[in-house]
Chain A
């Protein structure tokens, strides 16, 4: 039996995934995953705000090789 909260949870999870996919399509990786990574592996580094993180990634996307098809 699915309870209301498990359905709500599943929907919430699905929405988060959709947002993550949409952002990734625009070259912006998951901010939460980055924070988790920083805290675990580089606790000495400053944690960037989402705004700083976004700006850095936005600039990085158009630096390298082409990320799209014909």
Chain B
């Protein structure tokens, strides 16, 4: 069956399966998916195997890709395979190059996949595996993948322009500036919270700290090799780097056991935070070829390789989900993060379900590489589905842990104390029976002295991964190796993000500084460079240090801020897509980007409001500490009145920032509605698309 598109220039497109066999096949996929989802959602009392969850997800993704993404491509975006893309029109052999679609897919996926989809689902597992699973599946199909695909398509029709540029063009200059300010603040929060994940993972872990520190000389060596010895041989040098990394993980066991070496790499959270701040400054000031680029290569390959390894481990080990489907913590009393299912689940799992950050990638390098509009669906929508699958795998790794171990690792010390005895008692009282021995044994298995209160996602995921990998590749003492491998892999690519992000932040700050004093804008100027880098590092460093000294462990405080900011950006991107759909006079499809946009606005504003006022708010925390300080009492972990004051002011800053985010989103909503109503009342299309050029008329 074919349906002809009314739009001139669009080819006729098949929207339904053409043969009976194909229809039957899709019906079968739908039935299998429904059956698996039914098992995951409804089976109670006996544990569910992770394979059901994997199968359900794959079926949902297949159906969403086959039907919903095609519907969006054909009707909402009207992607046109005969239309020339920016890569073809502006081919310069460097930035704009028509590239094979699988190559672009790989590039796009590597760019969007980061620590986010691995950490968020692990934190959300405190509510059980079901809420997280459902949000990842429905979120990605109706929001995340829609956002990535639509922003990619918009950019494809606009010479590969950036999100900021498109916002200025379609909504006006003021909203463009407001959104870009939001991006800068979001970036600082992202860098701080990611660096905090590393701090949490390395606190009092000489083995982990040693291996992460070893990446610095390894990267320097790679940088020199790549610059002078074998120029540009990325794969070769990455293999050498990988071998050295694995060797450093092995040697780390020796470091941890040695009474002379271990103290050299044994740091508390505050010291680690300072080390990271200093490191971030150096790494982004040094020439990129020396440290930043080689680490980037290593972390990119390690990331893809480890994701593949995780998938393999889950398929072969087929773990049982030990976490209940739903825990009592959906009421908002969970130890990992406070706040009820709505809205906090939806901001805790950001990347993996929907992530505003992707809108920047989808309007960055990717649209400049696509040779045919017809391929945008695979790359934009398909790439995000794959990211969601990574999030599902992270959720499985966390949910396949003993719940007692999970909560011991993720609950703050204020709730479970500092000993395995106190932790086991506290967690058993929560309803997850665990013995001190089990906690001790887990720590011993992974080669650490303690697993308590290591919130942040990375250590939990690492224990989960280590158990899975140990299942498929048994061997004495190998679990400790795998644990530190997983920690290293996460730390490596988080630190690369921190370095690269600091550089980007530095350029953004230099641009702003250039408005005040022109010479500061020159990126070659050392004064401008050092000054802007220092400001950038100070901005994220402030939040990192705040997290490292936070009474509730930091992640508890900073992750909601990160989630609110990230989902705010996603809401802005989806609002842009909604406005453009109306501007194109396709308003009957306004619900496609419009409903997820409204949903994210509702989630971010509700979460923001609860963090601003009420029992779990930053203001309440500030008031509590201020009151105690006034009475001369000390509340843990503060040891002096000055520290009490600092906790008060940190919470006030967080509250103010939450207010700024809320204001930002309300003003963007106002700007969008204004443009939307105007476009709705205009009888002709008003979107700023570049004119149609036939692909066949352009010679490559």
A35 to B358, CA, bound (A): 31
Judge whether A67 and B102 touch: CB under 8 Å.
no
B515 within 8 A of A: no
The binding surface of chain B is classed by DSSP as: helix
Given A21-B107, A66-B504, A70-B351, the answer on whether A26 and B297 have CB atoms closer than 8 Å is yes
Judge whether B289 and A66 touch: CB under 8 Å.
no
B103 within 8 A of A: yes
Partner of B103, one of A17, A36, A51, A65: A17
Chain A residues lying within 8 Å of B231, measured Cβ to Cβ, are 50-51, 54-55
A37 to B98, CA, bound (A): 11
6 contacting pairs across A/B (C-beta < 8 A): A26-B234, A33-B97, A50-B232, A63-B507, A70-B562, A70-B566
Interface residues of B in 69-124 (CB under 8 A from A): 91-95, 97, 99-100, 102-104, 106-107, 110-116
Partner of A68, one of B99, B100, B304, B500: B500
Chain B residues lying within 8 Å of A30, measured Cβ to Cβ, are 97, 99
Q: A25-B106, A62-B292, A66-B504 are in contact. List 9 more A-B contacts (CB 8 A).
A: A17-B100, A20-B103, A23-B234, A34-B94, A59-B288, A59-B289, A63-B523, A68-B111, A69-B116
Which residue on chain A has the smallest CB distance to residue B493?
A: A68
- Give residues in B with beta carbon < 8 Å to A: 91-95, 97, 99-100, 102-104, 106-107, 110-116, 162, 187, 190, 194, 227, 231-232, 234-235, 288-289, 292-293, 296-297, 300-301, 304, 350-351, 355, 357-358, 360-361, 364-365, 369, 496-497, 500-501, 503-504, 507, 523, 562, 566
- B-contact bits for A29-70, CB 8 A (1 contact / 0 none): 110011111100000000000110111011111111111111
- Give residues in A with beta carbon < 8 Å to B: 17, 19-26, 28-30, 33-38, 50-51, 53-55, 57-70
Judge whether A67 and B361 touch: CB under 8 Å.
yes
Which residue on chain B has the smallest CB distance to residue A59?
A: B288
Chain B residues lying within 8 Å of A20, measured Cβ to Cβ, are 99-100, 103
Give A59 Cβ to nearest chain B Cβ, in Å. Answer: 6
Judge whether B93 and A28 touch: CB under 8 Å.
no
A38 to B93, CA, bound (A): 8
Which residue on chain A has the smallest CB distance to residue B114?
A: A69
Given A20-B103, A66-B504, A69-B111, the answer on whether A28 and B234 have CB atoms closer than 8 Å is yes
Which residue on chain A has the smallest CB distance to residue B187?
A: A66
Judge whether B93 and A33 touch: CB under 8 Å.
yes
A57 to B231, CA, bound (A): 12
Give A35 Cβ to nearest chain B Cβ, in Å. Answer: 8
Given A21-B106, A26-B297, the answer on whether A66 and B234 have CB atoms closer than 8 Å is no
Give A47 Cβ to nearest chain B Cβ, in Å. Answer: 11
Partner of B111, one of A33, A35, A67: A67
Chain B residues lying within 8 Å of A17, measured Cβ to Cβ, are 100, 102-103
Judge whether A70 and B116 touch: CB under 8 Å.
yes
Judge whether A21 and B194 touch: CB under 8 Å.
no
Which residue on chain B has the smallest CB distance to residue A49?
A: B231
Which residue on chain B has the smallest CB distance to residue A37?
A: B93
